[in-house]
Structure 1
Amino acid sequence: MKLQLLSDLHLESEAFDPEPAAGAELLVLAGDIDNRWAALERFAGWPVPVLVVAGNHEFDDRELMDAWPRLHARCASLGLRLLERASAVLSDSQGRRIRFLGTVRWCDFDLFGPAGRKKAMRAGAYFQKVMRATLGGQPFDAAAVREEALACREWLAGALAQPGDEPCDATVVITHFAPSLRSTDPRYGAQSGTASFCNADDHLLPGVDLWLHGHLHCRHDYQVAHPDGRVTRVVSQARGLQAKGEPDGFQPLKLIEV
């Protein structure tokens, strides 16, 4: 299956017109498309199916318990399929069955292990203040983010451990947050704040053919080899902010094959 991947378009402030990639059989939106949700309309009537995983900024100034059902309804009304701790199995033009597992996979701040957690959470508090979100009427602070992240991780680990009702030819994971320190933004490197963007999910990579993510405003396309000879490809195709020059090198029509 040939995929088109877009994330971090930030269409609430950025000027960008998404176009279908020739030859793509599926479009994946990996979060931070528009914190107003208005620009999701641009993907209604897309010529191929569209899978959506929410990003952190989809919840700016929102109560998560209210936002989730509303975002599901919003996507459904536009013919888009939102995945949050949910899976979908799609067939490609060759009849191959591809399993997609999707979740925001919030950051758990354990990127540098338990010893680095407190410092990472202190650094992460800034990003939660920018979001100004709540959960159950309480501030969606670093501690609350961690709890959500652990629930995401538990679901994803369980889903990967289950082969599903019918065998599939490949497994694709879609998250907004990155699964490995390998995906760090080279401009900033490995620092405490990096734990707000990347998780230490390297142990989940075996058995995954392709892992798609966003969140970091840079591009990645690398492979991780496993002892059994299998390989996981990790791809991020984030656009970012024009004022920071982040779209330089962005390839919105890039095809990713699984």
Structure 2
Amino acid sequence: MHTGMTVGEFSRATHLSVKTLRHYHDVALLTPADVDPVTGYRHYSPDQVPTAQVIVRLRNLDMPVADVKAVLAAEDVSTRNQLIAAHLARLENRLAQAQSAVESLRDLLARPVHGSTIEYRTVREQAAIGIREVVDRQDLAGWWQGALGELHGFTTARGLRTTGPMGGLFANELLEDEHGEALVFIPFDGEVRSVGRIGAVVVPGAELAVAVHRGTLQTIDLTYGDLGTHAARHEISVDGPLREFYLRSPLDVTSEDELVTEVGWPIFRASS
């Protein structure tokens, strides 16, 4: 005779469906106290109710089953709390990303119909110091920030006199194939010895359609959209790397709202 709780009773007591309890048994998250070898009926101990309640709350926080197992198996309170804190930090990061996406959508809906002001510009070949690397698109933001900081530290430490704002060149393949060459540079006219990733580079000249993007880089795709649309409508778009000039970079501001980035789209100009 079983003195425990039937699966139905345990389901009602824990607010976990019978289907969910069976799944948790199958993945060894919550194993019944007893399983009849003949009938296969599951019975749970009343002492398992608190464990089930913990599982419910962790799963309500979208914690993966494997992580829930690790929490339940933790040998001490400190380890358990570290696991939970790490998951909460991931949730907070996801919440911040969602809030950023909401703000970005609001900005898009409130954006003027005419979009960016676009001008044409001839950019001459420039001597510079830079960091050039083939990167995956998903790694681009982190790589870009690191390269900016490294170049800034290099020029500051050596007291170099730069001849223009920091900039970046991004191969079409970075967007089209999610993998391609990126270059972050600072114009500099003089001799420089390569150190680590930093070396002398020549930034090629180009004819560009240019628009200014103000604020967070989360919405810079809107400026790129304006430039690409303009170039397509006027049939002046040509192949070539996309170009950015950081008039106010993350190194210059305390808030992303203060960023100022010029975006250049390569074009054909007969008058050039």
Normalised by the shorter chain, which TM-score bucket? under 0.3
Q: Name the structure with the higher helix share.
A: 2
TM-score (norm 2): 0.19
